[in-house]
C-alpha cells in the first residue's frame, strides 16, 4: 500500500511495510542519508527529523503514522548551498567532535529556535535531550545562542 507524505517539500510515495520506521524509509528507500541511526529505541536523538515542525525521533516511528505529514530533514536546511543560521553557528563554534550525533542535534536546535527564538540555557537543556558520546553539550548551548543572534540579524 502506498504511503504519501511531503519530504523536504517534495511529494513522495512509498510502497513499503507500513510498520517500517520512517528513518529507514528516508535512508534506504528515498536515499537521504543525512539522518543517522544510533540506538533504535528513541533514546539518543540521532534520528531526529521534523514531523509537521516538531523534532521527532524516527527510528521507531512507523511510516504509516506520517501519511500526509510534512517531513523535514537535515538536507533541507541549506538553501542553494548557503548554510542556515544554525549550521553557520555550528561552524563558527566548531561544535562537532566525531560528528555522529550532529544531524539530530542540529534538527533539534532548529525546532527549538522555531518555537523559542531566544532560548535560555535551561530551555536548550530541556529541548535538546539528544545524547552525544563526545560530550559537546557546552558547544551546543553556545551555538544555539549564536544561531538565535544570527536569525535576529536576518
Handedness of CA 17, 59, 114, 31 (dihedral sign): negative
By the rule CB under 6 A, 100 interacts with ligand FES: yes
- For ligand FES, the binding residue among 109, 113, 124, 132 (CB under 6 A) is 132
Residue 27 or 57 having the CB closest to ligand FES: 57
Please give the C-alpha separations between residue 24 and each of 34, 52, 90, 115, 125, in angstroms, as whole numbers: 12, 18, 26, 27, 28
Please give the C-alpha separations between residue 151 and each of 45, 62, 67, 116, 129, in angstroms, as whole numbers: 24, 33, 31, 12, 22
By the rule CB under 6 A, 97 interacts with ligand FES: yes
2, 13 contact by CB (below 8 A): yes
Cell numbers of 64, please? 504509516
By the rule CB under 6 A, 18 interacts with ligand FES: no
- For ligand FES, the binding residue among 18, 53, 99, 117 (CB under 6 A) is 99
- Which residues, 36 to 95, sit near ligand FES by CB under 6 A? 37-40, 42-47, 57, 59
What is the size of the binding site for ligand FES (CB under 6 A)? 23
- Residues lying near ligand FES in the complex (CB under 6 A) are found at 37-40, 42-47, 57, 59, 96-102, 132-134, 136
Amino acid at each position: 500500500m502506498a504511503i504519501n507524505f511531503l519530504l523536504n517539500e517534495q511529494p513522495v510515495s512509498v510502497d513499503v511495510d507500513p510498520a517500517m520506521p520512517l528513518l529507514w524509509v528516508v535512508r534506504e528507500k528515498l536515499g537521504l542519508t543525512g539522518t543517522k541511526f544510533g540506538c533504535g529505541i528513541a533514546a539518543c536523538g540521532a534520528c531526529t527529523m521534523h514531523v509537521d515542525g516538531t523534532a521527532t525521533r524516527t527510528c521507531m516511528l512507523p511510516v504509516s503514522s506520517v501519511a500526509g505529514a510534512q517531513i523535514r530533514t537535515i538536507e533541507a536546511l541549506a538553501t542553494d548551498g548557503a548554510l542556515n543560521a544554525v549550521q553557520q553557528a555550528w561552524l563558527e563554534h566548531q561544535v562537532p567532535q566525531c560528528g555522529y550525533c550532529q544531524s539530530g542535534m542540529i534538527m533539534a536546535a532548529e525546532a527549538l529556535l522555531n518555537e523559542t527564538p531566544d532560548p535560555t540555557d535551561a530551555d536548550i537543556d530541556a529541548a535538546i535531550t539528544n545524547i552525544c558520546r563526545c560530550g559537546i553539550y557546552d558547544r551546543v548551548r553556545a551555538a544555539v545562542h549564536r544561531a538565535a543572534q544570527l536569525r535576529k540579524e536576518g
